[in-house]
Chain A
Amino acid sequence: MGVRVKTGRTVLAATIGLGVALGVQAGEYPDLGPLPQLKIDAAKAELGKRLFFDRRISGDAGISCADCHKPENGYAHPDALSPGYPGNGHFRNSASLVNTAHKNVWNWDGRIGTNLNDMTREMLTEDYIMNMDMRIMQERAKQDPVYVKMFKDAGYGEPSNGSVRKAIPEYLKTLTSKNAPFDSGKLSPAAKKGQALFEGKAGCIQCHNGPMLTDLKAYNTGVPENFDVFLDPMNHQAFLAFVMFQGVPDYMNMKRDPGYYNVTLEQQDMGSFVTPSLRELKYTAPYMHNGMIGTLAEVVEFYNGGGGKDSRKSDKLKALNLSAEEKQDLVAFLESLSGDPLTGPGYVWSEEYPSEYPVIENWRQVRN
């Protein structure tokens, strides 16, 4: 049985390998085209915006979503490894949230495949992210008159943890690419050549396709481990808590990020990560699940060498033999996928939060 499965997979891989060798056929993959429009409820999104930048929705009121997903960094974080909840580090690069509302698989390892409501819950409650007991979060919101009004205006009634997890995703829908040269058809000649390479000789489109430039499937590309995950105990402890919870066996001896293996617990998926979107990369360096590659030129160099070293590396990756100019063209194309920064007041909550919770007057008389 084991043997048959293995054989089947080898055949599949060989076919794909052949596909690459023959060159990628036009129309074989979903078009890169522009993103569809999303319908947004303004009042709910406005509430979500205030929540997103509010540190009080974390356990010790010390960290907000925006502390790890920074507007000026494409709602990712400039450190290779994301910060963690106070007292902790992290073991992955903070993912960009621009266009995340267009996805249906989230996190570098793809462990959430339902909706952004679940994704938000994960961020709020994970002990090395925001460590929030959502019942306390709800009571905090009910203690802030601004929230009481905003929840009401948004049609949610009184603040509840359920509506926090609806309002934040509504706000995330507002974070979409604006005026990317690729979308407005204003590609430079270099970028145009880059696109042809992307879809042809370089074979990027095999995985990076559709309007988000991702097929949302997991592959092993051989990105080297970031040793800081293991050498800094703050990061390592978050990693351990994570794999422990995911049910990964022998986690204490683990010296690599298991990636998609977390989800399936199948050895074949060890070290695989979900193809990320390639939009807004201008703002989101460093790259890859662990921030191991600093610039787009280095990413292209990485692929030119056929990716990294891993016995389970995808057969879709082969040395590309790109010329220096071709590499530059490819980078120019990647850059054309970034639009305006989403740092204006339409996206960023800039009013101050109260430093103390106001008291509910005549507390004995009113109902809780």
Chain B
Amino acid sequence: MKLKKYTPTLVAAAIATVLLAGFSATTISAEGSAPALAPLGDPPIPPDNLQTPEKIELGKLLFFDPRIGGDASTGCSTCHEPDQGWAWAEDFSRGYPGTVHWRNSQTIINSAYFPRQFWAGSASSNEKQAKSAAKGGVAGNGEDDIMEARLALIPEYRKRFKEVFGTEWPLIFDVWHAISAFERSLVQKDTPVDKYLQGDKSALSEEAVRGKALFEGKAGCIQCHNGALTSDTDYHNVGVPPNIRWEEDGLAQITFRFEQYAKGQTEEGYRSAKSDWGFYYRSKNKWDRGKFRTAPLRYIAYTAPYMHNGVFYTLEEVIDFYDRGGFDEEGRTTAFPENKSPLIKPLGLSDEEKADLIAFLEAYSGEEIMIEKPELPEYAPLFTKAELEAAQEAK
């Protein structure tokens, strides 16, 4: 039975983040005061979900298993395709059959480092993210009971869950733990930039080194894309325009309205929304409309298109967008210009400078992370005919 509930608004957490967002917007205006770029260390591992090779291996199976989903067609890897940067190479992610998603699919690579998941940070851990994606109506559309029932009828899973979690039957709760353990193994921390920051000055081309200087200076990217994560993990409105597809695609219009409901919009908000309100859905403050979590810049060589709604297909388009001060080539910008970050201003970059910046951005991606897709274990009946006959006799 489906029991759909509105996403709870984590009021306290939201308020705390809002305060933080307000703080950073006003104080980190002077270039140079942001945390310096740094090489990436190991991801944090939550004490209640420690990594073991067996758990990671189980998580890998589950990540690729479409039976973790409503009609056994759409698992995690369906929208996080290793060949497509562990994301999906269209503006909106593909959705559950019969739907399209409304946001760009995010890469799994390095998701382990983020204290909050999703474009607007609505999940507070990988575990919670996995659960909410597997169950969401335009994502996995799965229900706990049917997914748990399926796993119980797959002997290989019974064996592995017992080994890893010690339960007699696989529990859906542990599915999210195993998948998260697998995700925490999908990290990349040896990019040319990491090597450079660790002292290997030959790791970056001259172009990229110039790009780094622009990134930290004239272009001001570092004000938000900083530290080891290349993200302040905070929420900003940088002016990304709404996706035109909502004006041209019936299926996308359906999902758009559904999401207003699902994210707990007011009646008036549902009626009037014509763009993704982003962080607002969590905080319910009008000054948060159109704010999204600063996206990490790692692995982006493989994860086009870009932004929460995939409106830019190349890094060139992204740089031009910032160079114009947060406008696309047709002059479109956020539906909430009043919330646009004052940090976003026209940059006056030359073509050469743009090329340098891109060279630096590209150096934040190492080798493409490929993986052999696992062979999925098969169903088998739980009882023999003889056992059923005996039960029938005993009635």
Contacts and interface: CB of A to CB of B under 8 A. Distances in A.
Contacts of B272: 367-368
Contact of A240 (B152, B256, B257): B152
A252 interface: yes
Given A60-B141, A230-B382, A245-B1, A359 B72 contact: no
Interface string B128-139: 000000000110
A152 interface: no
Contacts of B253: 143, 357, 359-360, 363
Contacts of B47: none
A33 B210 CA distance: 92
A75 B326 CA distance: 58
Given A86-B73, A126-B2, A227-B388, A233 B273 contact: no
Interface string A152-174: 00000000000000000000000
Given A62-B97, A125-B2, A252 B152 contact: yes
B70 interface: yes
7 contacts: A60-B70, A133-B137, A227-B388, A240-B153, A359-B247, A363-B253, A364-B274
Interface string B239-251: 0000000111111
Q: Which one of B137, B138, B261, B379 has the greatest number of beta carbons of chain A within 10 Å?
A: B137
Interface of A: 56, 58-62, 85-88, 122, 125-128, 131-136, 139-140, 142-143, 222, 224-225, 227, 230-234, 236-241, 244-245, 252, 255-256, 271, 309-312, 356-360, 363-364, 367-368
Interface of B: 1-2, 4, 67, 70-73, 96-99, 137-138, 141-143, 145-146, 148-150, 152-153, 169, 246-251, 253-258, 260-262, 270-274, 379-383, 385, 387-389, 391-393, 395
Given A239-B149, A368-B272, 18 more contacts: A59-B70, A59-B71, A60-B70, A62-B97, A85-B70, A122-B1, A131-B141, A136-B254, A139-B258, A225-B388, A237-B149, A237-B150, A237-B152, A255-B392, A309-B392, A356-B250, A363-B247, A363-B274
Contacts of A357: 250-251, 253-254
A99 to B, nearest CB: 26
A367 B271 CA distance: 5
A107 B273 CA distance: 42
Q: List 6 A-B pairs, minimum CB-CB distance, nearest first.
A: A87-B72, A357-B250, A61-B98, A240-B149, A133-B137, A60-B97
A33 to B, nearest CB: 36
A117 to B, nearest CB: 16
A255 B250 contact: no
Contacts of B72: 86-88
Contacts of A359: 247-250, 253
Contacts of B383: 230-231, 255
Contacts of A271: 395
A55 B380 CA distance: 30
Contacts of B246: 363
Contacts of B141: 59-60, 131, 133
Nearest to B274: A364
Given A136-B258, A367-B272, A368-B273, A60 B96 contact: yes
Contact of B381 (A222, A231, A240, A367): A231
Nearest to B136: A133
Specify which of B138, B145, B255 lies most central, judged by the most chain A CB atoms within 10 Å of its CB: B145
A230 B148 CA distance: 16
Contacts, number: 179
B335 to A, nearest CB: 10
Nearest to B387: A255
A223 to B, nearest CB: 11
Contacts of A256: 391-392, 395
Nearest to A256: B391
Contacts of A358: 250
Given A139-B254, A311-B395, A356-B251, A233 B380 contact: yes
B264 to A, nearest CB: 11
A143 B262 CA distance: 17
Contact of A310 (B73, B137, B251, B395): B395
Given A127-B143, A256-B391, A357-B250, A133 B149 contact: no
A87 B248 CA distance: 32
Contacts of B4: 133-135
A60 B145 contact: no
Nearest to B2: A125
Contacts of B387: 255
A244 B385 CA distance: 23
B385 to A, nearest CB: 6
Residue in A222, A230, A311, A312 whose Cβ sees the most chain B Cβ within 10 Å:
A230
Given A143-B250, A236-B381, A363-B247, A135 B262 contact: yes
Contacts of B379: 233-234
Contacts of B393: 309
B376 to A, nearest CB: 14
A127 B146 contact: yes
B64 to A, nearest CB: 16
A127 B70 CA distance: 7
A326 B137 CA distance: 56
Contacts of A363: 246-247, 253, 274
A311 B246 CA distance: 62
A134 B258 CA distance: 10
A214 to B, nearest CB: 24
A40 to B, nearest CB: 30
A108 B273 CA distance: 45
Contacts of A360: 250, 253
Contacts of A135: 4, 137, 258, 261-262
B118 to A, nearest CB: 18
Contacts of B381: 230-233, 236
A131 B71 contact: yes
A125 B388 contact: no
A230 B388 contact: yes
Contacts of A143: 250-251, 253-254
Contact of B1 (A126, A237, A240, A364): A126
A258 B73 CA distance: 30
